[in-house]
Structure 1
Amino acid sequence: MTIASPRLLDGLIAASIEAGQVILDIYARPIDVAFKADASPVTEADGLAEAVLLAALTRLAPDVPVVAEESVSAGRVPAAADRFFLVDPLDGTKEFIRRNGDFTVNVALIERGEPVMGVVHAPAIGRLFAGGPEGAWEMAVDGDAIVERRPIRVRDVPAEGATLLVSRSHATAATDAFRPTVAVADRRVVGSSLKFCLIAAGEADVYPRFGPTMEWDTAAGDAVLRAAGGIMVLPDGELFPYGKRDRPGLADFANPSFIAASDRRLVAFHRDLV
């Protein structure tokens, strides 16, 4: 039985907005940057936002384990479970440091390997996206207040062709080699998990990723996209799974390549690009 409910989604939205306010407080002043063992950047905002989210999740669902980026980096990894939260308190840390606004707060609920609920909040641009069993929405956020809320749905591909999204910081030769099943009218460069949300909101059509990511990078955006009628698949066409552990030579929760799209018919499977 799922625990996904309107009440839980409202709680995740409120927690994401609170974490976003903490991030913006730091964004408004000089940013100190450190580096993790894998050479990825981390800031004070990552840790403080994660603390807000962990406290909120403890209140909302105290019995559900939380896999959170900074906690995992510090060696705090919960035991495997069929139901757990995935948290990336500041997705797009490089975008945060560059001050271009393309960074997000990501929270997702995973049940039996699927993202059944997720919230993606982009505090610098005041856009919040949420999805669950009852559908998907975009909300306009001003400070700590939601000022507008509308349902969202993936679009049919425009007659002139698809809009393809690529990562601002992680494009690869395989990304350049990817071809969807329809003509591409536009390519847009976007940071963080906003790419999933733009497809969910009917502003784009397909996002291929043939470089490394972690589950907390993708789960919330994937949940919003699925709730809006879209799909995220492996390059061989299988539905993208979560809770990946104990694989020889691979870190727990590390993602393989994937393709996110408004419709499975957009996806040409590219086993050769994996």
Structure 2
Amino acid sequence: MPLSALLDAVAIIVRQAESIVMVVYGSEFVVRGKDDKSPVTEADERAEQLITEALRALTPEIPVIGEEAVAAGVAPQIGERFWLVDPLDGTKEFISRNGEFTVNVALIEQGEPVLGVVGAPAQGRLYGGARGVGAWVEEAGGMRQPIGCRAAPETGLTVVSSRSHGDAAALEAFLAGKPVADTRFAGSSLKLCLLAAGQADLYPRLGPTMEWDIAAGHAVLAAAGGTIVDLQGEPLRYGKPDLRNPHFVASGLCAPAA
């Protein structure tokens, strides 16, 4: 199946998962703690079950790695091609009901995110992108608009930072000497989507993340012309044995001076 058709199919699956998430969001849900002390809700588990079953039906030959399944000790062997699923990125934002949470599905091929869909159901937006296809945002009415990264603004860079995680002192040290005009805070993988949509320029992540946290947003960003590299300047890769990311810098700058 071409990536363009696969992208449309995954967008439908994410929309279906969003419906489940929003039903729970509008109810009195219970928050539990996982072994790693991170929170989990019924929305995480039900959305992942729907996405996993739908992806297996769509592409039975491609294994699915989901956050909640891994947390429960269930994960297929990582190969050259696999799905990464974060059914509810920004669970803390979900719990605080600030709307900054996302549903994420990414396809990884030979260590690279080649397709991604990021749904922001509380905001009524769906972001998608694939290699060779480009990136888009779909509003609640179903209209899609192409998106792309921007050149470095003459007025200075807009930096996005995590609302719930991160080391403020490390971020300040990293940005020292850089032409920063503004700093915006956002939850979940929305930060990567802001870069892809040309609404921000730089996202340094100087704290722990897992591959499923950012893979879908990375695919959208890459399709929009952006990049993610580690602190040594090497492209971020997927399929690591422990599925953990190093510190990284995501850039939405399309100019050579980025």
TM-score, normalised to structure 1, is 0.90
Partner of 2:165: 170
Q: Does structure 1 retain, via aligned residues, the 8 Å contact 2:64–2:82?
A: yes
Render the CA deviation track for 1:138-184: whole Å, top value 9, x for unaligned.
11025xxx2x1010000112111110000000120312222277411
SS state at 1:178 partner = helix
Instruction: State the shift of 1:59 in Å.
Output: 1.5
Which of 77, 82, 85 is matched with 1:84 structurally? 82
Cα 1:181–1:56 change in 2 (3 A) is: farther
Deviating 4+ runs (over 6 angstroms): none
Moved more, 258-267 or 66-75: 258-267
Work out the number of aligned pairs and report it. Answer: 255
Q: Does structure 1 retain, via aligned residues, the 8 Å contact 2:56–2:63?
A: no
1:102 aligned onto 2:100: yes
Cα 1:54–1:181 change in 2 (3 A) is: farther
Which of 246, 250, 257 is matched with 1:260 structurally? 250
Once residues 152 and 77 of structure 2 are traced to their aligned partners in structure 1, the CA distance between those partners, rounded to angstroms, is 42
Once residues 24 and 222 of structure 2 are traced to their aligned partners in structure 1, the CA distance between those partners, rounded to angstroms, is 32
SS state at 1:124 partner = helix
Instruction: State the shift of 1:38 in Å.
Output: 0.7
TM-score, normalised to structure 2, is 0.96
Partner of 2:136: 137
Which of 89, 109, 119 is matched with 1:121 structurally? 119
Gaps of 5+ in 2: none
Cα 1:29–1:261 change in 2 (3 A) is: same
Identity, in percent, stands at 53
Once residues 51 and 69 of structure 2 are traced to their aligned partners in structure 1, the CA distance between those partners, rounded to angstroms, is 12
SS state at 2:54 partner = helix
Partner of 2:228: 232
Letter in 1 for 2:120: A
Render the CA deviation track for 1:169-215: whole Å, top value 9, x for unaligned.
01203122222774111000100000000000000000000100000
Partner of 1:272: none
Letter in 2 for 1:202: G
